[in-house]
Amino acid sequence: NAGVMQNPRHLVRRRGQEARLRCSPMKGHSHVYWYRQLPEEGLKFMVYLQKENIIDESGMPKERFSAEFPKEGPSILRIQQVVRGDSAAYFCASSTRGQDNYGYTFGSGTRLTVV
């Protein structure tokens, strides 16, 4: 019973390239959340998705960032034209429903380094 799976674990991109981060939720989970942790900072909410729907993207930067959770396949966080400031750990979590009171389980994250 695999947990939340994220890949790649580490990703290096040059400035201006695109980064694609993937998140496969736990089996049976249809709600996905993305968080970002900049160096020496706390995790910050980015986006909440259900299958084929973006529910809340209030934490997403206005430009270059997008997320999707298609009917089939993993959730994708896409960063276009990366800049050094995008270097961070990106964590994904999933749940069976959006309103839970138990906290949720994170994947092991993708560490993006922009050079």
Partner 1 sequence: RKEVEQDPGPFNVPEGATVAFNCTYSNSASQSFFWYRQDCRKEPKLLMSVYSSGNEDGRFTAQLNRASQYISLLIRDSKLSDSATYLCVIEAPNTGFQKLVFGTGTRLLVSP
Residues 76-105 that bind partner 1 (CB under 8 A): 89, 91, 95, 98-105
User: What 3-state class would DSSP assign to 52?
Assistant: coil
Size of the site for partner 1 (CB under 8 A): 28
Residues 22-51 that bind partner 1 (CB under 8 A): 31, 33, 35, 40-45, 48
Is 55 a residue that touches partner 1 (CB under 8 A)? yes
Rounded distance, CA 74 to CA 72, Å?
Answer: 7
Rounded distance, CA 108 to CA 9, Å?
Answer: 7
Q: Which residues are 87's β-sheet partners? A: none
Nearer to partner 1, 82 or 93 (CB): 93
Is 52 a residue that touches partner 1 (CB under 8 A)? no
Q: Which two tokens stand for residue 57?
A: 């993207």
Maximum pairwise Cα distance, the chain: 40
Nearest to 73 by CA among 108, 23, 26, 6: 23
Nearer to partner 1, 44 or 78 (CB): 44
Nearer to partner 1, 18 or 56 (CB): 56
Question: What residues make contact with partner 1 under the rule CB under 8 A?
Answer: 31, 33, 35, 40-45, 48, 55-56, 89, 91, 95, 98-109, 111
